[in-house]
Amino acid sequence: MLKVGLTGGIGAGKSEVSRLLVSYGAVLIDADRIAREVVEPGTPGLVAVIAEFGPEILTPEGTLDRPKLGSIVFADPARLAALNAIVHPLVGARSAELEGKAGAGDVVVHDVPLLTENALAPLYDLVVVVDATPETQLDRLVRLRGMTETEARARMAAQADRARRRAIADLIIDNDGPLEALEPQVREVWRRLRERASATG
């Protein structure tokens, strides 16, 4: 099994790279998706988040009000650290459980947005970084995700800068261009991952 860490700044296009890798045969473990699952109603994770941040971070239906929680934690590094201290161990445990179900010859891709920030690179056989300029990230967040420029810049500022991400990369996918320029790069990365998996398997 080859364990791959996939990361990139918000708006860099990591989700599209994940989707392509899965279409080629990768086993995807999506940290963001797991992070949502571990704080669903009735979970110990949600109980812990309410204990830390108060019941006002719930919607009237009793689910986590993500925009409200996001506005609290992205403006305050200490609050973000408190949230991460609750969620990250739960995500780690669930990720390990899912990884344990993969086959010996599989390429297991861990999609981890905060891989750089949390110094997780040593957990993987290699790290793939989806890279885009800050200008491209900002444009995508405002144009495609409907964020205000202020909100987009705050989200970007809460993450590691581009140089730090590139510094931990074994492979870099340049996603500044159009979608059709992305696919051949991801296909080449997949070829190299399969090659490496065969060598280690």
Tens of pLDDT, residue by residue over 94-153, are 999 999 999 989 999 999 988 999 899 999 999 999 999 999 999 999 999 999 999 999
Q: What is the pLDDT of residues 43-90, one digit of tens each?
A: 999 999 999 999 999 999 999 999 999 989 988 989 999 999 999 899
pLDDT at 200: 72
Summarize the confidence of residues 150-176 as an average pLDDT: 94
Q: Give yes or no for residue 197 having a pLDDT over 80.
A: yes
Q: Give yes or no for residue 201 having a pLDDT over 80.
A: no
pLDDT at 49: 97
pLDDT at 113: 86
On whether the CB atoms of residues 17 and 6 are closer than 8 A, the answer is: yes
pLDDT at 194: 95
**Cα–Cα distance between 28 and 175 in angstroms, integer?**
20
pTM flag (> 0.95) = no
